[in-house]
Structure 1
């Protein structure tokens, strides 16, 4: 089948290697993503390679995609902390991030896979990336909400000039290889904050919240998004004294 389109932008496809790229291009994908790690342990568990080996695997994928006019995003996991290695030094993340961008990626997404980042750490990493030659417009952020900091971290990134933010409806998400990872930043919480900041998103927040409440009901658990819970009549009713 064809790759589904949202408006005039094809959905991005995660592509780990050249075989995956072949399949994506054959199906009409015009946007791909490679997914690396800032730490050796996660690179081994997620890609069964060292960090250097994973970069070597991505090199022909990115080169071929760019030659074909396909947009490439580089995801970088464990940018703030790793469940096996602990805190990840900013310089280590910058080194891998720079190497990923030097392959030719159009965009870099910084992943806080286990949700341990705090706003000061976010600002420090973004500043260090800028100093290493990675411009803010090329950077996106991907926060998990393990410690309830995803929205605060996003605001810190926005204040630094970042305009690309990953979020998920109702705060779904996690990582099968990092058991401490909880859901992603909830799209509803992000949109509520952006609305308050006067940033137009074009997102129908009540409709999105209703969809996420429906999804949470089918999953048999409450949505972790406070905005979903606040806007959901059934949720509000169930919490009346």
Structure 2
């Protein structure tokens, strides 16, 4: 089979970031079925779950069982979010291909999310990288990179300093996360331009939320600046449990539709994504934010009304 090269890499995070905030328990078997369906569509990366305190994020307390049950597609990287050394050990035991370490640029949010100062988080990452590299890749995320709901805007210098510290620890990839959807396109273009001076485009991921309706605009701003890897969640699911007002991620099928409409290749089948998204309300117990699944693709035309067929 000939694989069409992608102009933009879309990485799926619904099984982790999408489900972590859901009040309704999603059965382990259903999580596995969702991940297997996403694998079959051909995502290069899928964030499967997180190894965090089950008291803090009870919706993902079955992370090990989910990793054990999924069918692993050759060419797909299966990622686990980790906050500390214990999480890394559990993720490695579950055979995660990549560990996604997270700390916040904001000290207040890092204390709320990780119960550590940023300095303590960096010290924890330093303990993780070398043993983890024996069996997995390490991605390091800067959460609240574009703003914190407690502290407001984060200075670019602080974000860049964290990125440099990550690189000094020999991580394999960097993610800039707009944890509560506070970013705007001008800010995105400026920060991404600075970070791309430090990180090759192939190793930089942008993670946007659509809290204030700017998710897709921010993706385009980052793409036009040179970024090529983006997280998204099927149906627009998601949100951070430790950030007031947080809502869903950029919607995968909406982003794929946008890319295809403007001529960017994603390597993903939009109709298959829409079909899979149709099942999400039954899975989580409520409607989901995604628009394309509701409206259909732009050229999914409707029958001409009968009264117009015979007029004139």
- TM-score w.r.t. the length of structure 2 is 0.69
CA apart distance, 1:3 = 6.7
**Which residue number in structure 2 is paired with residue 188 of structure 1?**
253
Q: Flag structure 2 segments of 5+ consecutive residues without an equivalent.
A: 1-64, 303-312
Q: Which moved more, 1:23-32 or 1:109-118?
A: 23-32
Maintained 8 Å contact 2:180/2:247: yes
Q: Identify the match of residue 88 of structure 1 among 130, 136, 154.
A: 154
- The CA distance in 1 between the partners of 2:245 and 2:153, in whole Å, is 14
Alignment of 1:143-158 (within 5 A): 143-158=208-223
**RMSD over equivalenced CA pairs, Å:** 2.1
**Which residue number in structure 1 is paired with residue 35 of structure 2?**
none
* Larger CA Rg, structure 1 vs 2: 2
Runs of 4+ in 1 over 4 A off after TM superposition: none
**Which residue number in structure 1 is paired with residue 140 of structure 2?**
74
**Which residue number in structure 2 is paired with residue 39 of structure 1?**
106
Maintained 8 Å contact 1:74/1:101: no
Maintained 8 Å contact 1:113/1:175: yes
Larger RCO (CA under 8 A, 6+ residues apart) = 2
Q: Flag structure 1 segments of 5+ consecutive residues without an equivalent.
A: none
Alignment of 1:122-201 (within 5 A): 122-131=188-197, 133-201=198-266
Maintained 8 Å contact 2:233/2:252: yes
- The CA distance in 2 between the partners of 1:86 and 1:75, in whole Å, is 19
Q: 1:3 to 1:219 in 2, by over 3 A?
A: closer
**Which residue number in structure 2 is paired with residue 118 of structure 1?**
184
- The CA distance in 2 between the partners of 1:17 and 1:218, in whole Å, is 30
Maintained 8 Å contact 2:92/2:135: no
- The CA distance in 2 between the partners of 1:181 and 1:34, in whole Å, is 20
- The CA distance in 1 between the partners of 2:271 and 2:282, in whole Å, is 16
- The CA distance in 2 between the partners of 1:3 and 1:37, in whole Å, is 31
Maintained 8 Å contact 1:169/1:187: yes
Q: Which moved more, 1:145-154 or 1:24-33?
A: 24-33
- The CA distance in 1 between the partners of 2:75 and 2:118, in whole Å, is 34
More helix by share: 1
Equivalenced residues, count: 232
- TM-score w.r.t. the length of structure 1 is 0.89
- The CA distance in 1 between the partners of 2:69 and 2:172, in whole Å, is 21
